[in-house]
Structure 1
Amino acid sequence: MSTGEGGHSSESGGAGGGEKLLQLDLAYPANEYMELTLSPGGEVVCGVVYCTDEVSRSIVLRKSLVHTTLASEVRVINASCVKSRKRIGGETPGGGGGGAAAEEGGTETKAVEEKRGVSSTAPTAAEIESLSVPLPSVSRRALEERERRALKLAEESLSHINRKASPAGQAVFDRLLKACNEVSWKGTSIIVLHQIRVDPPYGAGDCRMIRASESEAAARLHEGSLERVKKIVAAEPSS
């Protein structure tokens, strides 16, 4: 690593160098303003490091925007695409520091920077501070609870799939589940609200009550439910 004027520091080493051996959180510290040169085209991007991810080898940069209603731009970069990286220290307002950055032992002129599409003016301390935000605290218990809920939903979704049923039967099941909520498989038959059974080939004429009603009022209620199920079964699937 070489250090130039104005508090700028330059580091080389991308996919072909020692980058793979470095931990991303050490090579790209959070809330650090950095300039990255990307391969293969040599594109230069700048921004404050918001976070990194070791699994995907990703770096997330945050950059403020002007002349727009958006507060900032977020960009995700794969570490293997980084040819070189450079930490840029913020200038204090009215300060005299911040000359051209030294890169690979040479002084980069303003004309070269403009040709590369990079501003030669380093961000001020206020600009960096506006982008640098502390990472929120993460509750392990909340994450575990969220994982349990996700697994439960996944298991419920899998229980709704019957490999023994025909595609038409699965489509009827999905429509009934959306409308009635309490729907399950029993073999290749569909059980709705624990009262109605829909047998293959899953037509309106294949819907019947599982057991007789105990009273006349219950019979009328169940008959209404049966008619509703028949309409759902007979309905054309939505595209």
Structure 2
Amino acid sequence: MSTPSFALVASDTAEARDAKARLEARYATADIDASEVIVALGGDGLMLETLHRFIDRSVPIYGMNCGTVGFMMNQYEEERLPERLAAAQQVTLHPLRMHATTVKGAEADALAINEVSLLRESRQAAKIGISIDGVKRMEELICDGIMVATPAGSTAYNLSAHGPIVPLAAQLLALTPISVFRPRRWRGALLPARAEVTFEIHESAKRPVSATADFTEVRDVARVTVREDQSVDLNLLFDPEHNLEERIIKEQFQP
């Protein structure tokens, strides 16, 4: 196996910056615009930032955990880094594409690697209609919000909102409500990965709602569509013994 050239990026913490300095002193690194692999030092937040930053290059990202939450990261070790990169297994993900229309008619597009979430902006509960592939599935959901999560994102905000953990190979998206009031017993749905989800905001002047795709927030939305964008590849690298599929399965058996 040939060793790929790699560049280093680090989160803005002392631990990550110190790790970057040690690795740069130890290994020959490439220019970040010409490297074959990006090594990200930090937690899952940095991994999301790095994937978004290099989304147009589709360059593989190999994360090493120097943060608090490192579900998408490999274990931090300074030994044999080039050999680990050469042996790493690639996982290709596709982000969600959000198209939002505001109450004033403005339009915005954004990509989400973890989830697209709709949240109420005021003390009033949101009222949201839900359609799947053009078919109205729920006339009105009264809630604090709702999200569409990817398999990779199903262990993040989706999990904290009591949504299901979705294995990568399942080709599914999690549709998860947040603090449902009506219908009281509805806990969400699993959808085919190619489904298009449309949210219509009811009483938007009285009950304003924002839509957020990872880091991009659009306020006062009237209509939001979400679908998986198969034209965009996100490539992550994992040590064979710590692949992402195994982590997602393992997470479901945590106490």
**Superposition TM-score tier, normalisation by shorter sequence:** under 0.3
TM-score normalised by length of structure 1: 0.24
Larger helix share, 1 or 2: 1
TM-score normalised by length of structure 2: 0.23
Larger strand share, 1 or 2: 2
Taking CA–CA contacts closer than 8 Å with sequence separation of 6 or more, which of the two structures ends up with the larger relative contact order?
2
